[in-house]
Amino acid sequence: MGYNTYYIITLTERVNKLINLSSGNHQLPTPQIFLRRCLIALFDLLFLNLSFVAVCGLKYNLSGIFNLLIGRAWYASLIYLAVLTFFGLYNSMWEYAGLHELLRCLCAVVTSTLLTYGVDSICRNLSLFNQRSEVLPDTGISISVYFFAALLTFFLSGFLRIFYRSLRSMRSMISNRHNTKRHRIMIIGAGDTGITIYRELEQKGFSTGKPVVFVDDDPNKQGRRVGFVPVRGSSDRIPELANRYDVDEIILAVPSMSSQRRGELLKIAMETGCKLKTSLSFEEITENPASEGAVRNVEIADLLARPEIKLNPAVCSYLKGQTVMVTGGGGSIGSELCTQVARYSPKRIIIFDNYENNAFLLKGKLDRHYKGKVEFIIRIGSIQDSKRLREVMKEFKPTVLFHAAAHKHVPLMEESPCEAVKNNVFGTYNVANAAVDCGVKKVVTLSTDKAVNPTNVMGASKRVTELIIQYFERKNTSTHFAAVRFGNVLGSNGSVIPIFKEQIESGGPVIVTHKDITRYFMTIPEAAQLVCQAGGLSRGGEIFVLDMGEPVSITSLAEKLIRLSGYTPYVDIKIEFSGLRPGEKLYEELTLSEEEGDMQLTANNKIFVLPPIDFDTKKLEQGIKALRHVNDDNVRELLRDLVPNFHESEASSQ
DSSP code of residue 280: P
Which of 31-45, 285-299, 550-564 is the least confident region?
285-299
Which of 132-136, 496-500, 583-587, 613-617 is the least confident region?
132-136
In this predicted structure, what is the pLDDT of residue 417? 94
**b/e per residue, 366-400, with b = 16+ CB within 10 A?**
beeebeeebebbbbebbbeebebbbebbeebebbb
Which of 148-157, 356-365, 444-453, 495-504 is the least confident region?
148-157
Which residue in 324, 329, 341 sits closest to 401, CA to CA? 324
Does 441 or 260 have the greater pLDDT score? 441
Distance CA 234, CA 474 (A): 58
| CB proximity list for 482: less than 8 A, separation 6 or greater | 442, 443, 444, 445, 469, 534, 535, 538, 540, 541, 542, 543, 544
Which stretch of DSSP H or E encloses residue 417? helix 417-420
In this predicted structure, what is the pLDDT of residue 590? 64
Residues 228-241 pLDDT 10s: 889 988 888 999 99
- Burial degree of 565 (CB within 10 A; 0-12, 13-18, 19+): middle
- Report CA 575 to chain centroid distance, whole Å: 32
In this predicted structure, what is the pLDDT of residue 348? 96
Residues 292-336 pLDDT 10s: 457 788 877 777 766 656 667 788 889 999 999 999 999 988 999
Across the range 93-100, mean pLDDT stands at 56
Which of 307-316, 461-470, 567-576 is the least confident region?
307-316
CA atoms within 13 A on the CB side of 528: 21
Q: pLDDT > 90: what percent of the chain? A: 31
Residue 421 has pLDDT above 70, yes or no: yes
Distance CA 206, CA 199 (A): 9
In this predicted structure, what is the pLDDT of residue 47? 76
Residue 338's CB: how many other CB atoms inside 10 A?
27
Residues 578-624 pLDDT 10s: 888 877 778 777 666 555 556 665 655 667 888 777 788 899 999 99
In this predicted structure, what is the pLDDT of residue 74? 66
Q: How confident is the model at residue 59 (pLDDT cuts 50, 70, 90)?
A: low
Query: Is the omega angle on the peptide bond into residue 509 within 30 degrees of 0, that is, cis?
Result: yes
**From start to end of 506-639, where are the E strands?**
510-512, 518-519, 521-523, 543-546, 552-553, 575-577, 600-601, 607-610
Whether residue 461 contacts residue 467, with contact meaning beta carbons closer than 8 Å, is answered with no
Whether residue 435 contacts residue 403, with contact meaning beta carbons closer than 8 Å, is answered with no
Residue 315's CB: how many other CB atoms inside 10 A?
19
Domain 315-495+518-552+584-642 class?
Answer: alpha beta
User: What's the CATH superfamily of 184-298?
Assistant: NAD(P)-binding Rossmann-like Domain (3.40.50.720)
Whether residue 44 contacts residue 85, with contact meaning beta carbons closer than 8 Å, is answered with no
Q: How far is CA 518 from CA 92, 203, 487, 552, 580, in A?
A: 55, 46, 11, 5, 12
- Report CA 570 to chain centroid distance, whole Å: 33
Number of H helices, E strands in the chain: 23, 22
Residue 257's CB: how many other CB atoms inside 10 A?
18
- Report CA 480 to chain centroid distance, whole Å: 34
Distance CA 234, CA 146 (A): 52
Residue 165 has pLDDT above 70, yes or no: no
Across the range 463-467, mean pLDDT stands at 94
Residues of the chain with CATH 3.40.50.720: 184-298, 315-495+518-552+584-642
In this predicted structure, what is the pLDDT of residue 287? 57
Distance CA 481, CA 435 (A): 10
Across the range 75-97, mean pLDDT stands at 69
Which of 245-259, 261-275, 471-485, 580-594 is the least confident region?
580-594
Which of 52-66, 164-178, 482-496 is the least confident region?
164-178
Across the range 244-250, mean pLDDT stands at 90
| CB proximity list for 520: less than 8 A, separation 6 or greater | 449, 486, 487, 488, 548, 549, 551, 552, 588, 590
Which residues sit opposite 279 in a β-bridge? 295
Residue 342 has pLDDT above 80, yes or no: yes
Does 547 or 567 have the greater pLDDT score? 567
DSSP code of residue 449: G
Q: pLDDT > 70: what percent of the chain? A: 76
CA-based angle 529:534:536, to the nearest 5? Answer: 105
Identity of the residue numbered 596: E
In this predicted structure, what is the pLDDT of residue 595? 57
Residue 62 has pLDDT above 60, yes or no: no
Whether residue 488 contacts residue 520, with contact meaning beta carbons closer than 8 Å, is answered with yes
Residue 238's CB: how many other CB atoms inside 10 A?
23
**CA max distance for the chain:** 115
Strands 607-610 and 600-601: antiparallel
Distance CA 527, CA 549 (A): 14
Does 156 or 590 have the greater pLDDT score? 156
Provide the phi-psi class of 582: left if phi over 0, else alpha when psi is between -120 and 50, else beta.
beta
| Mean predicted lDDT score pLDDT of the chain | 79
Distance CA 110, CA 86 (A): 13
Does 103 or 415 have the greater pLDDT score? 415
SS3 233: coil
Across the range 556-578, mean pLDDT stands at 87
SS3 59: helix
